[in-house]
A and B are shown apart, each in its own frame.
Chain A
């Protein structure tokens, strides 16, 4: 599974992007499950809420499916996935 996250906006207005391939990772099952939950919560629970000025905006793509979300209205799973991919991804 390929997970790509682009973070835009923020006070600085500086874009950040990271991508991660779960293939061959020892934590692949965990990360894939997290990604599924992060996307599912956006699609099904209507987390598509209005962002705030200077709040970070995120684009999360998982195997070609893309969702958008924004601080401070992220689900727990989205927050965790974003933190993980921006830290571990390249």
Chain B
């Protein structure tokens, strides 16, 4: 009666299990570790940082292709739209195309990044994945969007911040590669929320005080009576409180940090803390959040080997302070960074 070990078990737990005196437990864990380490080696190959683009300069134009899974759980599916094509009759296809474009645009125009890998990676997306599929994800090389069940969730291509969130998982994969567990996992989630929100703000031309700071606004279906979105960076824990969805579990500060083994150690829960720190920084500095606040976060995420893949909140916070000093010297920016982290209870110095 031994469980089959899989992705849900973090490597450090597997390491322990592999040393178990029960041979069935240790054998199973050891095999999973071997498999995982193969996967990680592959990932490491794709995440070598600072390596020059293969040949020539990557294009300043996105190269987007949309595929249709035709309600099966397959990717990529049938090709239905290429970069230069006229708009499709399928609004989902057009939304995916536009969302990929908005993401490409922010990363290029504001941060000088050429696509997800900074080497002009073509952007592929599969829409209509599965039946009533309530999710969207970056599968390591492309985007996948479900249609939602039309009851709790609508089409996942609707909010541009959801598209930006998922594509940012690709950027993280190619840069800091934050491990998707515990605090580093919550940072991985938070960085996706931050840039997802910035992509929306940049597309709408909204300053920090005009933005809604919501993640997934417009995604909730007709059966959700009390909810505005899935997460709020402005007020974590207040996005929904509904009889079907339950209550938004996000904390805003370390006082309410949630210790759990569920959700990979609460990656979608505790991300509320760094999310709120970013919100506080951006609104304190004022103006467009993607400019100074966004640049500090981007430099921290992509700053080479400084940010460890298993970084905790405090390590990330210290590096944002270092980034603020490097970019802007001893001014308002560094003071605002220190104040934001202090407000959420994370030491940054």
Interface residues in chain A, defined as those with a beta carbon under 8 Å from any beta carbon in chain B: 8-15, 42-43, 46-57, 59, 64-72, 74, 79, 83
Contact = CB atoms under 8 A, between A and B. Distances in A.
Given A54-B169, A70-B6, A13 B153 contact: no
B263 A13 contact: yes
Nearest to A73: B7
B4 A68 contact: yes
Contacts of A70: 6-8
B35 A11 contact: no
A15 B263 contact: yes
Interface stretch (B132-140, B281-289, B302-310, B326-334): B132-140
B138 A13 contact: no
B134 A10 contact: yes
B264 interface: yes
B137 A68 contact: no
Nearest to B39: A50
B138 A72 contact: no
Interface string B163-181: 0011001001100000010
Interface in B6-61: 6-9, 31-32, 35-36, 39
Main secondary structure of the interface of A (DSSP, over half): loop
B99 to A, nearest CB: 14
- Kindly state the interface size class of chain B when it binds its partner: 35 or more
Nearest to A79: B73
A54 B5 contact: no
A57 B180 CA distance: 13
Interface of B: 1, 3-9, 31-32, 35-36, 39, 73, 75, 131, 134-140, 144, 153, 156, 162, 165-166, 169, 172-173, 180, 188-189, 192, 216, 230, 245-246, 262-264, 267-269
13 contacts: A8-B8, A9-B263, A11-B156, A48-B35, A51-B7, A51-B8, A53-B169, A53-B172, A55-B137, A67-B4, A72-B73, A72-B137, A83-B131
Nearest to B7: A51
B263 A8 contact: yes
Contacts of A52: 137-140, 169
A50 B39 CA distance: 7
Contacts of A46: 31, 35
B240 to A, nearest CB: 9
- 8 cross-chain pairs, A with B, having the tightest CB-CB distances, nearest first: A13-B268, A68-B6, A51-B7, A48-B6, A53-B169, A54-B137, A67-B4, A70-B7
Nearest to B215: A11
B238 to A, nearest CB: 15
A64 B1 CA distance: 8
Nearest to A14: B245
Nearest to A72: B139
A55 B146 CA distance: 12
